[in-house]
Amino acid sequence: MAYRSLRQFLDRLEQAGELVRVKEPVDTHLEMAALADRAAKQGGPALLFEQPSSGRLPVAMNLFGTRRRTSWALSCDDFEEHAAELRSLLRMAPPQGLWEKLKMLPRLGKLATLTPKHVSGGPVHEIVDREPDLSALPVLTTWPHDAGPFITLPQVVTRDPESGLRNVGMYRIQVLGPRRLAMHWQLHKTATAHFRGYQKRGEKMPVAIALGGDPALTWSASAPLPPGVDEYLFAGFLRKEGVPLTKGLTVDLEYPAEADLVIEGWVDPAAALVREGPFGDHTGYYSLADMYPALEVTAVCRRADAIYPATVVGPPPVEDQWMGKATERLFLPMLQMVFPEVVDMSFPVEGVFHNLCFLSIKKEFPGHAKKLMHGMWGSGQMSNTKTLVVFDDDVDVQDHAQCAWRAFANVDVKRDLVIVDGPVDVLDHASTAFALGGKIGVDATRKLPEEGGREWPEPCVHPAGVVARMDALYQRLVPGAPPPRRMKLAEPPAAAWSPRKGAH
């Protein structure tokens, strides 16, 4: 189901007991973030702060704080449903490059109806302020050493000045003054490429910052879609209904007509950059102050009953773990189009997405794991992944304890590590230079004879029939025992392998 507003999504959460209204006053400076961080870390409810200490709108937080709520936000019961649909659609698309296939999606059958719809006006224009004061918004200061208040859950709409194609990205925004913002679009992101385009042409860059509306739009802004694939089209696919877009009033851009609030403005690429940050980031550390473009606000438009959405980033796990999990699941089928050997992937939350990725593959030839590492380091935002660990397909990469066991057991550190240089995430404070540093690939697959080494043993697994009988006996011996926590391990094919055959 497509949500007509953020309020409609909150109504659904409230009916399901997934929303808590905070009626007492809570400070937008540090307090709200601390409360929402606790809720996120405990898989707690979404929060609606009805009396923020600053700003005149209620604040919604921890909207994506569980797998269930993130799935509901994406208009499904579990986001694996979208992954399954994408998988079958991509199979239907003619054989071309991955991104070409993605561009084909809207042309496939019913998806044609899911492209954005152009409307005039819309609820987001109920109140228009052409001389706004951003202090009227309840923008949070999250951490004590943050440089000030930051907008944390925005959809930043920009347009490529050459191709005219739209991009929507989630980039935090620092409030510098009543009508001035600092735009933290990082070096590798699409809005930075747009900014460079305007700079080259000597033109000002129009920007619209949408907040709220259907949460599928908010999530889509964070999705690593390649330049040229419209996030609002992708959101239309998720919500099974085209996103209504309306024209900006002071910028020549379209944005969601059903958003709660939109800030319109211009970035002058000829103007001096401004100091942005520090900001307590999703790495769990402060990202240090740096120079970013300033945006001069020309209008704030909003619904009469707008709700301001926000999130807390900081030491993991935080709310974005579920936004990231949805990304992992929805992008796996797309990745598999280019790398069909990939069986599964997982980004453990402790790796904050760009520091660690586990991949399992159907290994078919010597050096296969290493081939995949290089492919990943050449693919979109995957290229920033600092640590890639590649396993065989009998390893459950969603089970991180199993991954640790298998990786430590299977790796000869001289043979199986690949260390390369290249771009790394801008937020990586450990790299030797800004956005440039070392990356490591770990080949944790079983080694083929050509790769060197000794005969490879199988892991120990109780036979399934024995386990079933002994579980029943254990339950009788220890009544009330909790269900066993076991790794998912495949029984080795008995005929093909026996440790007794092994020779040293």
Ligand X SMILES: Cc1cc2nc3c(=O)[nH]c(=O)nc-3n(C[C@H](O)[C@H](O)[C@H](O)COP(=O)(O)O)c2cc1C
> Applying CB under 6 A, which residues contact ligand X?
152, 167, 169-172, 184-186, 189-191, 222-224, 311, 313, 320, 323, 381
Q: Considering Cα of 243, then 244, then 248, then 254, what sign does the dihedral take?
A: positive
Beta carbon of residue 4, minimum distance to ligand X (angstroms, whole number): 24
3-class SS of residue 149 = coil
Buried b / exposed e along 208-228 (16+ C-beta atoms within 10 A)? bbbbbbbbbbbbbbbbbbeee
Closest to ligand X by CB, 44 or 224: 224
Which stretches of 464-504 are assigned E, i.e. beta strand?
Answer: none
d(Cα 403, Cα 387) in Å, to the nearest integer? 13
3-class SS of residue 138 = coil
77 assigned to active site: no
Write the DSSP string, 4-28. Answer: SSHHHHHHHHHHTT-EEEE-S-B-T
d(Cα 151, Cα 166) in Å, to the nearest integer? 21
Closest to ligand X by CB, 230 or 396: 230
Beta carbon of residue 497, minimum distance to ligand X (angstroms, whole number): 44
Closest to ligand X by CB, 172 or 179: 172
- The burial class, CB within 10 Å (0-12 / 13-18 / 19+), for 473 is exposed
3-class SS of residue 33 = helix
Beta carbon of residue 277, minimum distance to ligand X (angstroms, whole number): 10
Q: Given the structure tokens 């909150």, which residue do they identify? A: 10
Beta carbon of residue 189, minimum distance to ligand X (angstroms, whole number): 3
Beta carbon of residue 293, minimum distance to ligand X (angstroms, whole number): 12
Closest to ligand X by CB, 32 or 442: 32
- Does residue 220 contact residue 235 with C-beta atoms inside 8 Å? yes
Nearest alpha carbon to residue 92 among 101, 84, 83, 100: 101
Beta carbon of residue 320, minimum distance to ligand X (angstroms, whole number): 4
Name the active-site residue from 37, 146, 281, 416.
281
Closest to ligand X by CB, 122 or 154: 154
- Does residue 306 contact residue 261 with C-beta atoms inside 8 Å? yes
Closest to ligand X by CB, 171 or 198: 171
Catalytic residues: 281
